[in-house]
Structure 1
Amino acid sequence: GGGGYGTPQKERKKYDEQTLTPCTIRMILNADSAPTDGGTPGGGGDGGTLTLKDGRDLTNVKFVGAVRSAEEQSTNIVFLIEDGTGLVEVKQWVDVNDPPAVTEMRLQCTENVYVRVIGMVKEFQGARSVVATSVRKVATGNELTHHMLEVVYTSEKAKAGVGGGAGGDVKPSVPYNAAPQALFGGGGMQQGMGQQGGASQGDPCHDAVLNYIKTEGANSEVGADTTLCIQALVPQGYSDAQIRMSIQHLSGEGHIYSTIDDNKWQAC
Protein backbone atom coordinates (compact mmCIF):
# COMPACT_ATOMS: atom_id res chain seq x y z
CA GLY A 1 0.00 0.00 0.00
CA GLY A 2 1.23 3.43 -0.98
CA GLY A 3 -1.25 5.25 1.27
CA GLY A 4 1.32 5.73 4.00
CA TYR A 5 3.23 8.22 1.90
CA GLY A 6 0.37 10.69 1.43
CA THR A 7 0.74 12.71 4.62
CA PRO A 8 4.56 13.10 4.60
CA GLN A 9 4.46 14.30 1.00
CA LYS A 10 1.81 16.87 1.87
CA GLU A 11 3.83 18.13 4.82
CA ARG A 12 7.00 18.30 2.72
CA LYS A 13 5.26 20.39 0.11
CA LYS A 14 4.03 22.77 2.78
CA TYR A 15 7.56 23.05 4.20
CA ASP A 16 9.03 23.74 0.77
CA GLU A 17 6.56 26.59 0.21
CA GLN A 18 7.70 28.46 3.31
CA THR A 19 9.42 31.75 2.46
CA LEU A 20 12.20 33.61 4.26
CA THR A 21 10.51 36.86 5.27
CA PRO A 22 12.44 40.04 6.13
CA CYS A 23 10.66 41.67 9.05
CA THR A 24 10.86 43.64 12.27
CA ILE A 25 10.29 42.14 15.71
CA ARG A 26 7.03 44.03 16.01
CA MET A 27 5.78 42.28 12.88
CA ILE A 28 6.56 38.93 14.52
CA LEU A 29 4.81 39.83 17.77
CA ASN A 30 1.76 41.36 16.06
CA ALA A 31 1.21 38.60 13.49
CA ASP A 32 -2.23 36.98 13.62
CA SER A 33 -2.42 33.40 14.87
CA ALA A 34 -4.91 30.92 13.41
CA PRO A 35 -5.44 27.22 14.21
CA THR A 36 -4.61 24.54 11.64
CA ASP A 37 -6.03 21.04 11.48
CA GLY A 38 -8.21 21.63 14.50
CA GLY A 39 -5.40 23.07 16.60
CA THR A 40 -5.63 25.98 18.99
CA PRO A 41 -4.00 29.31 18.15
CA GLY A 42 -0.77 29.60 20.07
CA GLY A 43 -1.56 26.41 21.91
CA GLY A 44 1.34 24.17 21.06
CA GLY A 45 4.30 25.39 19.11
CA ASP A 46 3.35 24.15 15.65
CA GLY A 47 -0.41 24.06 16.24
CA GLY A 48 -1.20 27.35 14.50
CA THR A 49 -0.31 29.43 11.48
CA LEU A 50 1.02 32.97 11.87
CA THR A 51 -0.02 35.55 9.30
CA LEU A 52 1.26 39.09 8.83
CA LYS A 53 -1.16 42.00 8.51
CA ASP A 54 -0.48 42.10 4.77
CA GLY A 55 -1.61 38.47 4.42
CA ARG A 56 1.75 36.70 4.15
CA ASP A 57 2.39 33.56 6.15
CA LEU A 58 5.12 34.01 8.73
CA THR A 59 7.39 31.06 9.44
CA ASN A 60 11.00 31.63 8.45
CA VAL A 61 12.21 35.15 9.18
CA LYS A 62 15.26 37.36 9.11
CA PHE A 63 15.72 40.54 11.10
CA VAL A 64 18.41 42.82 12.50
CA GLY A 65 18.62 43.83 16.14
CA ALA A 66 20.80 44.44 19.18
CA VAL A 67 21.68 41.69 21.63
CA ARG A 68 20.39 42.76 25.04
CA SER A 69 21.39 39.54 26.83
CA ALA A 70 22.99 36.22 25.93
CA GLU A 71 22.76 33.17 28.18
CA GLU A 72 24.90 30.23 27.12
CA GLN A 73 23.89 26.74 28.19
CA SER A 74 25.32 23.32 27.41
CA THR A 75 23.18 22.75 24.31
CA ASN A 76 22.02 26.23 23.28
CA ILE A 77 22.37 29.98 23.63
CA VAL A 78 19.32 32.09 24.48
CA PHE A 79 19.48 35.68 23.23
CA LEU A 80 17.16 38.56 23.97
CA ILE A 81 17.22 40.75 20.86
CA GLU A 82 15.69 44.19 20.39
CA ASP A 83 15.37 46.23 17.21
CA GLY A 84 13.58 49.38 18.36
CA THR A 85 10.14 47.92 17.60
CA GLY A 86 10.11 45.09 20.13
CA LEU A 87 12.02 42.45 22.07
CA VAL A 88 12.08 38.73 21.26
CA GLU A 89 13.78 35.61 22.60
CA VAL A 90 16.05 33.84 20.13
CA LYS A 91 17.39 30.35 20.76
CA GLN A 92 20.33 28.93 18.83
CA TRP A 93 21.36 25.32 19.28
CA VAL A 94 25.04 24.62 19.94
CA ASP A 95 26.92 21.60 18.59
CA VAL A 96 30.28 20.66 20.10
CA ASN A 97 31.32 19.52 16.62
CA ASP A 98 30.75 22.95 15.06
CA PRO A 99 33.73 24.18 12.99
CA PRO A 100 35.97 26.77 14.70
CA ALA A 101 34.72 29.48 12.33
CA VAL A 102 31.13 28.90 13.45
CA THR A 103 32.14 29.02 17.10
CA GLU A 104 34.10 32.23 16.55
CA MET A 105 31.14 33.85 14.79
CA ARG A 106 28.89 32.89 17.70
CA LEU A 107 31.32 34.32 20.27
CA GLN A 108 31.12 37.72 18.55
CA CYS A 109 27.41 37.98 19.37
CA THR A 110 27.72 39.59 22.79
CA GLU A 111 25.59 42.18 24.59
CA ASN A 112 24.92 45.44 22.70
CA VAL A 113 26.30 44.00 19.45
CA TYR A 114 24.03 44.25 16.42
CA VAL A 115 23.28 40.96 14.72
CA ARG A 116 21.39 39.51 11.78
CA VAL A 117 19.10 36.63 12.75
CA ILE A 118 17.67 33.96 10.45
CA GLY A 119 15.33 31.44 11.97
CA MET A 120 11.85 29.99 12.44
CA VAL A 121 9.10 31.60 14.50
CA LYS A 122 7.62 29.39 17.21
CA GLU A 123 4.60 30.00 19.39
CA PHE A 124 3.92 28.19 22.66
CA GLN A 125 1.15 29.11 25.11
CA GLY A 126 0.81 32.54 23.53
CA ALA A 127 4.53 33.40 23.72
CA ARG A 128 6.52 33.79 20.52
CA SER A 129 10.20 33.13 20.04
CA VAL A 130 12.61 32.39 17.21
CA VAL A 131 14.70 29.24 16.81
CA ALA A 132 17.71 30.53 14.90
CA THR A 133 19.70 28.75 12.25
CA SER A 134 22.06 31.74 12.02
CA VAL A 135 23.00 34.59 14.37
CA ARG A 136 25.92 36.67 13.15
CA LYS A 137 27.38 40.07 13.89
CA VAL A 138 26.40 42.87 11.51
CA ALA A 139 29.43 43.92 9.47
CA THR A 140 28.50 47.54 8.64
CA GLY A 141 25.70 50.03 9.11
CA ASN A 142 24.73 49.43 5.49
CA GLU A 143 23.16 46.14 6.55
CA LEU A 144 20.69 48.05 8.72
CA THR A 145 19.64 50.28 5.84
CA HIS A 146 19.45 47.37 3.41
CA HIS A 147 17.30 45.35 5.82
CA MET A 148 14.93 48.29 6.35
CA LEU A 149 14.51 48.72 2.60
CA GLU A 150 13.93 45.02 2.14
CA VAL A 151 11.22 44.96 4.83
CA VAL A 152 9.44 47.94 3.29
CA TYR A 153 9.74 46.65 -0.27
CA THR A 154 8.49 43.12 0.42
CA SER A 155 5.61 44.42 2.53
CA GLU A 156 4.50 46.90 -0.11
CA LYS A 157 4.90 44.26 -2.79
CA ALA A 158 2.59 41.93 -0.88
CA LYS A 159 0.01 44.69 -0.34
CA ALA A 160 0.08 45.49 -4.06
CA GLY A 161 -0.46 41.83 -4.91
CA VAL A 162 2.80 41.52 -6.78
CA GLY A 163 3.97 38.31 -5.13
CA GLY A 164 5.78 35.49 -6.82
CA GLY A 165 8.20 37.72 -8.71
CA ALA A 166 5.63 39.25 -11.06
CA GLY A 167 6.26 42.72 -12.39
CA GLY A 168 4.62 45.88 -11.14
CA ASP A 169 5.26 49.25 -9.57
CA VAL A 170 5.60 49.32 -5.81
CA LYS A 171 5.11 52.63 -4.02
CA PRO A 172 6.48 52.39 -0.48
CA SER A 173 4.73 54.03 2.47
CA VAL A 174 8.19 54.72 3.95
CA PRO A 175 10.63 56.60 1.66
CA TYR A 176 13.53 54.49 0.42
CA ASN A 177 15.97 57.18 1.53
CA ALA A 178 14.55 57.32 5.07
CA ALA A 179 16.74 56.60 8.05
CA PRO A 180 16.22 53.26 9.81
CA GLN A 181 14.31 55.12 12.57
CA ALA A 182 11.46 55.60 10.10
CA LEU A 183 10.85 51.87 10.26
CA PHE A 184 12.39 50.68 13.51
CA GLY A 185 11.35 53.60 15.70
CA GLY A 186 14.58 53.32 17.68
CA GLY A 187 17.81 55.27 17.62
CA GLY A 188 20.00 52.67 19.27
CA MET A 189 20.45 50.97 15.91
CA GLN A 190 22.17 53.99 14.40
CA GLN A 191 23.90 55.00 17.61
CA GLY A 192 25.48 51.60 17.99
CA MET A 193 26.92 51.80 14.49
CA GLY A 194 28.64 55.08 15.32
CA GLN A 195 26.51 57.73 13.62
CA GLN A 196 26.83 61.17 15.08
CA GLY A 197 23.86 63.40 15.83
CA GLY A 198 25.57 66.36 17.48
CA ALA A 199 26.48 68.55 14.49
CA SER A 200 24.64 71.77 13.71
CA GLN A 201 21.66 71.26 11.40
CA GLY A 202 22.11 74.57 9.59
CA ASP A 203 18.66 75.72 10.72
CA PRO A 204 18.13 77.62 14.00
CA CYS A 205 14.85 75.85 14.74
CA HIS A 206 16.34 72.40 14.07
CA ASP A 207 19.24 73.23 16.39
CA ALA A 208 16.94 74.56 19.12
CA VAL A 209 14.72 71.46 18.99
CA LEU A 210 17.70 69.10 18.99
CA ASN A 211 19.30 70.89 21.95
CA TYR A 212 16.02 70.79 23.88
CA ILE A 213 15.57 67.07 23.25
CA LYS A 214 19.17 66.35 24.26
CA THR A 215 18.83 68.33 27.50
CA GLU A 216 15.38 67.14 28.55
CA GLY A 217 15.92 63.59 27.27
CA ALA A 218 18.98 63.23 29.49
CA ASN A 219 16.73 63.83 32.52
CA SER A 220 13.97 61.42 31.53
CA GLU A 221 13.93 57.73 30.67
CA VAL A 222 11.00 58.21 28.29
CA GLY A 223 12.51 61.25 26.57
CA ALA A 224 11.48 64.83 25.82
CA ASP A 225 7.79 65.55 25.23
CA THR A 226 6.64 67.21 21.98
CA THR A 227 4.08 69.46 23.70
CA LEU A 228 6.54 70.65 26.34
CA CYS A 229 9.14 71.25 23.63
CA ILE A 230 6.69 73.49 21.78
CA GLN A 231 5.80 75.36 24.97
CA ALA A 232 9.49 75.96 25.67
CA LEU A 233 10.48 77.10 22.17
CA VAL A 234 7.49 79.20 21.07
CA PRO A 235 8.61 82.09 23.34
CA GLN A 236 11.92 82.01 21.46
CA GLY A 237 10.13 82.99 18.24
CA TYR A 238 9.43 79.60 16.64
CA SER A 239 5.92 78.58 15.62
CA ASP A 240 4.17 75.34 16.51
CA ALA A 241 4.38 74.21 12.86
CA GLN A 242 8.10 75.03 12.61
CA ILE A 243 8.89 72.99 15.72
CA ARG A 244 6.88 70.01 14.54
CA MET A 245 8.57 70.17 11.13
CA SER A 246 11.96 70.26 12.84
CA ILE A 247 11.07 67.17 14.88
CA GLN A 248 10.10 65.33 11.71
CA HIS A 249 13.29 66.45 9.98
CA LEU A 250 15.52 65.37 12.86
CA SER A 251 13.74 62.02 13.09
CA GLY A 252 14.02 61.40 9.35
CA GLU A 253 17.74 62.25 9.40
CA GLY A 254 18.38 59.90 12.31
CA HIS A 255 19.29 62.52 14.91
CA ILE A 256 16.39 61.71 17.24
CA TYR A 257 14.10 58.72 17.75
CA SER A 258 10.72 58.10 19.34
CA THR A 259 10.56 56.07 22.56
CA ILE A 260 7.30 54.96 24.19
CA ASP A 261 5.08 56.80 21.69
CA ASP A 262 5.20 59.32 18.86
CA ASN A 263 5.37 62.29 21.26
CA LYS A 264 8.42 61.25 23.28
CA TRP A 265 11.91 61.73 21.84
CA GLN A 266 15.51 60.99 22.65
CA ALA A 267 18.63 62.21 20.85
CA CYS A 268 20.87 59.64 19.17
Structure 2
Amino acid sequence: MWNNAGDYDGGFDQGGGYLSSQSDTQDKKKTRVQHIMPCTLARLMKAEHVEDKFISDGVELNQVSVVALVLSAQETTTNQVYRVDDMTGPIMEVRVFADNDPDMLESDKVPLFRENTYIHAWGHLRSFGGNRNITAFRICQVDDMEELTHHILECTYAHLYHSKELHLMRLKNAHHFQNRTTNPGQQPGMRPRVDGGMNAAATVDAGDMGLTPVQMQVLNLIRTSVEDHGITTTTLSNQLKGLPRKAITEALDFLSSEGHIYSTIDDEHFKATDSI
Protein backbone atom coordinates (compact mmCIF):
# COMPACT_ATOMS: atom_id res chain seq x y z
CA MET A 1 0.00 0.00 0.00
CA TRP A 2 2.76 2.47 0.98
CA ASN A 3 6.35 2.13 -0.20
CA ASN A 4 9.48 2.50 1.89
CA ALA A 5 9.95 6.09 0.80
CA GLY A 6 6.60 7.05 2.29
CA ASP A 7 4.88 7.57 -1.05
CA TYR A 8 1.46 6.16 -1.66
CA ASP A 9 1.60 3.27 -4.14
CA GLY A 10 -1.90 1.96 -4.85
CA GLY A 11 -1.54 0.43 -8.36
CA PHE A 12 -4.07 -2.41 -8.57
CA ASP A 13 -2.87 -5.93 -9.18
CA GLN A 14 -4.62 -9.21 -9.96
CA GLY A 15 -4.63 -10.28 -6.35
CA GLY A 16 -6.48 -7.28 -5.03
CA GLY A 17 -3.41 -5.73 -3.43
CA TYR A 18 -1.39 -2.64 -4.29
CA LEU A 19 1.75 -2.35 -6.37
CA SER A 20 4.29 0.47 -6.48
CA SER A 21 3.88 2.78 -9.45
CA GLN A 22 7.08 3.79 -11.22
CA SER A 23 7.89 7.35 -10.16
CA ASP A 24 9.59 10.09 -12.14
CA THR A 25 12.78 11.73 -10.96
CA GLN A 26 13.01 12.44 -7.26
CA ASP A 27 13.06 16.21 -7.66
CA LYS A 28 10.07 16.34 -10.04
CA LYS A 29 6.99 17.77 -8.39
CA LYS A 30 4.11 15.31 -8.24
CA THR A 31 0.87 16.83 -9.44
CA ARG A 32 -0.79 13.82 -11.02
CA VAL A 33 -1.50 10.59 -9.19
CA GLN A 34 -0.73 7.79 -11.64
CA HIS A 35 -1.83 5.05 -9.26
CA ILE A 36 -5.16 4.21 -7.69
CA MET A 37 -6.29 6.67 -5.02
CA PRO A 38 -8.72 5.36 -2.37
CA CYS A 39 -11.47 7.97 -1.98
CA THR A 40 -14.77 8.62 -0.31
CA LEU A 41 -17.67 9.90 -2.37
CA ALA A 42 -17.47 13.17 -0.45
CA ARG A 43 -13.89 13.72 -1.57
CA LEU A 44 -14.80 12.97 -5.19
CA MET A 45 -17.69 15.43 -5.04
CA LYS A 46 -15.53 18.16 -3.45
CA ALA A 47 -12.61 17.74 -5.86
CA GLU A 48 -11.95 20.86 -7.93
CA HIS A 49 -12.91 20.39 -11.59
CA VAL A 50 -10.41 22.20 -13.83
CA GLU A 51 -11.02 21.61 -17.53
CA ASP A 52 -10.93 17.80 -17.78
CA LYS A 53 -9.04 17.28 -14.53
CA PHE A 54 -10.16 16.70 -10.95
CA ILE A 55 -7.85 18.14 -8.27
CA SER A 56 -7.93 17.18 -4.59
CA ASP A 57 -5.32 18.05 -1.95
CA GLY A 58 -3.11 19.49 -4.69
CA VAL A 59 -2.95 16.33 -6.82
CA GLU A 60 -4.86 15.24 -9.89
CA LEU A 61 -7.14 12.27 -9.34
CA ASN A 62 -6.52 9.87 -12.20
CA GLN A 63 -7.72 6.47 -11.02
CA VAL A 64 -9.82 6.07 -7.86
CA SER A 65 -11.36 3.32 -5.79
CA VAL A 66 -14.53 3.45 -3.69
CA VAL A 67 -16.43 1.09 -1.41
CA ALA A 68 -20.13 1.82 -1.16
CA LEU A 69 -23.60 0.38 -0.67
CA VAL A 70 -25.69 -0.32 -3.78
CA LEU A 71 -29.01 1.53 -3.62
CA SER A 72 -30.18 0.56 -7.10
CA ALA A 73 -28.83 -1.42 -10.03
CA GLN A 74 -29.79 -1.41 -13.69
CA GLU A 75 -28.41 -3.43 -16.57
CA THR A 76 -28.64 -2.83 -20.31
CA THR A 77 -26.95 -4.43 -23.30
CA THR A 78 -24.14 -1.86 -23.08
CA ASN A 79 -23.53 -1.23 -19.38
CA GLN A 80 -24.46 -1.62 -15.74
CA VAL A 81 -25.44 1.46 -13.75
CA TYR A 82 -25.29 1.49 -9.95
CA ARG A 83 -26.44 4.25 -7.61
CA VAL A 84 -24.19 3.94 -4.56
CA ASP A 85 -23.81 5.60 -1.17
CA ASP A 86 -20.90 5.40 1.30
CA MET A 87 -22.58 7.67 3.89
CA THR A 88 -20.01 10.48 3.43
CA GLY A 89 -21.68 12.59 0.77
CA PRO A 90 -24.23 12.67 -2.06
CA ILE A 91 -25.20 9.53 -3.95
CA MET A 92 -23.05 8.81 -7.01
CA GLU A 93 -23.41 6.60 -10.09
CA VAL A 94 -20.92 3.88 -10.93
CA ARG A 95 -20.99 2.71 -14.55
CA VAL A 96 -19.50 -0.52 -15.85
CA PHE A 97 -19.49 -1.01 -19.61
CA ALA A 98 -20.33 -4.50 -20.79
CA ASP A 99 -17.83 -6.64 -22.67
CA ASN A 100 -19.81 -8.03 -25.58
CA ASP A 101 -17.12 -10.44 -26.70
CA PRO A 102 -19.05 -13.45 -28.04
CA ASP A 103 -16.19 -15.77 -27.08
CA MET A 104 -16.28 -14.74 -23.41
CA LEU A 105 -17.41 -17.46 -21.03
CA GLU A 106 -20.53 -16.76 -19.03
CA SER A 107 -18.58 -17.26 -15.80
CA ASP A 108 -16.16 -14.48 -16.79
CA LYS A 109 -18.86 -11.86 -17.29
CA VAL A 110 -19.44 -9.27 -14.55
CA PRO A 111 -22.63 -10.16 -12.66
CA LEU A 112 -25.21 -7.54 -11.71
CA PHE A 113 -24.82 -6.80 -8.02
CA ARG A 114 -28.15 -6.33 -6.29
CA GLU A 115 -29.43 -3.67 -3.93
CA ASN A 116 -28.23 -3.56 -0.31
CA THR A 117 -24.88 -5.16 -1.09
CA TYR A 118 -21.51 -3.46 -0.78
CA ILE A 119 -19.28 -3.19 -3.84
CA HIS A 120 -15.66 -2.21 -4.34
CA ALA A 121 -15.14 -0.33 -7.61
CA TRP A 122 -11.98 0.89 -9.35
CA GLY A 123 -12.21 3.39 -12.18
CA HIS A 124 -12.01 6.96 -13.46
CA LEU A 125 -13.91 9.97 -12.14
CA ARG A 126 -15.98 11.57 -14.90
CA SER A 127 -18.42 14.46 -15.24
CA PHE A 128 -21.30 14.59 -17.70
CA GLY A 129 -23.99 17.24 -17.71
CA GLY A 130 -22.75 18.56 -14.38
CA ASN A 131 -23.16 15.16 -12.70
CA ARG A 132 -20.12 13.24 -11.54
CA ASN A 133 -19.83 9.49 -11.88
CA ILE A 134 -17.25 6.73 -11.83
CA THR A 135 -16.56 4.77 -15.01
CA ALA A 136 -15.30 1.53 -13.52
CA PHE A 137 -12.87 -0.89 -15.12
CA ARG A 138 -13.22 -3.40 -12.28
CA ILE A 139 -15.94 -4.06 -9.74
CA CYS A 140 -16.57 -6.80 -7.20
CA GLN A 141 -18.80 -7.53 -4.24
CA VAL A 142 -17.54 -6.95 -0.71
CA ASP A 143 -17.99 -10.18 1.24
CA ASP A 144 -15.93 -9.25 4.29
CA MET A 145 -16.80 -5.96 6.00
CA GLU A 146 -13.18 -5.66 7.12
CA GLU A 147 -12.56 -4.56 3.52
CA LEU A 148 -14.79 -1.55 4.19
CA THR A 149 -12.84 -0.71 7.35
CA HIS A 150 -9.57 -1.09 5.47
CA HIS A 151 -10.79 1.21 2.70
CA ILE A 152 -11.85 3.92 5.18
CA LEU A 153 -8.40 3.82 6.80
CA GLU A 154 -6.73 4.07 3.40
CA CYS A 155 -8.90 7.07 2.50
CA THR A 156 -7.99 8.81 5.74
CA TYR A 157 -4.27 8.11 5.38
CA ALA A 158 -4.15 9.20 1.72
CA HIS A 159 -5.99 12.45 2.50
CA LEU A 160 -3.71 13.31 5.43
CA TYR A 161 -0.59 12.42 3.46
CA HIS A 162 -1.37 14.63 0.46
CA SER A 163 -2.93 17.49 2.43
CA LYS A 164 0.22 17.65 4.60
CA GLU A 165 2.38 17.85 1.46
CA LEU A 166 0.18 20.67 0.15
CA HIS A 167 0.37 22.52 3.48
CA LEU A 168 4.16 22.25 3.64
CA MET A 169 4.46 23.46 0.05
CA ARG A 170 2.33 26.52 0.84
CA LEU A 171 4.42 27.28 3.91
CA LYS A 172 7.60 26.96 1.87
CA ASN A 173 6.26 29.33 -0.78
CA ALA A 174 5.09 31.79 1.89
CA HIS A 175 8.48 31.83 3.64
CA HIS A 176 10.25 32.22 0.30
CA PHE A 177 8.13 35.26 -0.48
CA GLN A 178 8.73 36.75 2.96
CA ASN A 179 12.48 36.49 2.47
CA ARG A 180 12.16 38.39 -0.81
CA THR A 181 9.91 41.12 0.60
CA THR A 182 11.53 41.92 3.93
CA ASN A 183 11.10 45.34 5.52
CA PRO A 184 13.75 48.01 4.87
CA GLY A 185 16.83 47.37 6.99
CA GLN A 186 15.75 43.83 7.85
CA GLN A 187 18.25 41.01 7.37
CA PRO A 188 17.27 38.33 4.78
CA GLY A 189 15.62 35.28 6.33
CA MET A 190 14.26 37.14 9.37
CA ARG A 191 10.55 37.33 10.02
CA PRO A 192 8.94 40.61 9.02
CA ARG A 193 7.69 42.88 11.77
CA VAL A 194 3.98 42.50 12.40
CA ASP A 195 1.80 45.29 13.73
CA GLY A 196 -1.84 46.31 13.66
CA GLY A 197 -1.52 47.82 10.18
CA MET A 198 -1.82 46.12 6.82
CA ASN A 199 1.41 45.60 4.89
CA ALA A 200 1.99 44.32 1.37
CA ALA A 201 3.91 41.25 2.47
CA ALA A 202 1.11 40.06 4.74
CA THR A 203 -1.52 40.66 2.07
CA VAL A 204 0.25 38.68 -0.67
CA ASP A 205 1.37 36.05 1.81
CA ALA A 206 -2.24 35.54 2.81
CA GLY A 207 -3.22 34.86 -0.77
CA ASP A 208 -0.42 32.33 -1.16
CA MET A 209 -1.61 30.38 1.87
CA GLY A 210 -5.32 30.75 1.28
CA LEU A 211 -5.77 33.02 4.30
CA THR A 212 -7.54 36.34 4.73
CA PRO A 213 -5.43 39.42 5.63
CA VAL A 214 -6.75 39.29 9.20
CA GLN A 215 -5.84 35.61 9.58
CA MET A 216 -2.40 36.30 8.15
CA GLN A 217 -1.82 39.18 10.58
CA VAL A 218 -2.69 36.95 13.52
CA LEU A 219 -0.51 34.10 12.22
CA ASN A 220 2.49 36.36 11.60
CA LEU A 221 2.28 37.78 15.11
CA ILE A 222 2.09 34.29 16.62
CA ARG A 223 5.17 33.34 14.60
CA THR A 224 7.19 36.10 16.25
CA SER A 225 6.71 34.63 19.72
CA VAL A 226 9.87 33.11 21.24
CA GLU A 227 8.18 32.02 24.49
CA ASP A 228 7.99 28.29 25.21
CA HIS A 229 4.27 28.58 25.92
CA GLY A 230 3.61 30.77 22.89
CA ILE A 231 1.74 34.04 22.72
CA THR A 232 -1.40 34.83 24.70
CA THR A 233 -4.70 36.04 23.28
CA THR A 234 -4.35 39.13 25.47
CA THR A 235 -1.02 40.00 23.84
CA LEU A 236 -2.56 39.46 20.42
CA SER A 237 -5.38 41.88 21.23
CA ASN A 238 -2.96 44.46 22.60
CA GLN A 239 -0.67 44.24 19.59
CA LEU A 240 -3.46 44.15 16.99
CA LYS A 241 -5.39 47.12 18.34
CA GLY A 242 -6.98 47.78 14.97
CA LEU A 243 -8.77 44.40 15.01
CA PRO A 244 -11.88 43.56 17.06
CA ARG A 245 -11.47 40.81 19.66
CA LYS A 246 -14.11 38.76 17.86
CA ALA A 247 -12.16 38.88 14.58
CA ILE A 248 -9.01 37.70 16.37
CA THR A 249 -10.90 34.85 18.05
CA GLU A 250 -12.41 33.73 14.74
CA ALA A 251 -8.98 33.87 13.11
CA LEU A 252 -7.51 31.75 15.93
CA ASP A 253 -10.28 29.16 15.53
CA PHE A 254 -9.69 28.94 11.78
CA LEU A 255 -5.89 28.79 12.00
CA SER A 256 -6.12 26.11 14.67
CA SER A 257 -8.58 23.98 12.67
CA GLU A 258 -6.37 24.26 9.56
CA GLY A 259 -3.23 23.22 11.44
CA HIS A 260 -1.35 26.53 11.20
CA ILE A 261 -1.26 27.00 14.99
CA TYR A 262 -1.85 24.96 18.13
CA SER A 263 -2.69 25.70 21.76
CA THR A 264 -0.05 24.97 24.40
CA ILE A 265 -0.68 25.08 28.14
CA ASP A 266 -4.29 26.24 27.78
CA ASP A 267 -6.75 27.73 25.31
CA GLU A 268 -5.22 31.20 25.73
CA HIS A 269 -1.67 30.37 24.55
CA PHE A 270 -0.77 29.62 20.92
CA LYS A 271 2.29 28.76 18.87
CA ALA A 272 2.75 28.40 15.10
CA THR A 273 3.22 24.84 13.81
CA ASP A 274 6.01 25.93 11.47
CA SER A 275 8.05 27.23 14.42
CA ILE A 276 8.43 23.79 15.97
TM-score by length of 2: 0.45
Higher relative contact order (CA 8 A, sep 6+): 1
From the CA coordinates, give the structure whose radius of gyration is larger: 2
TM-score by length of 1: 0.46
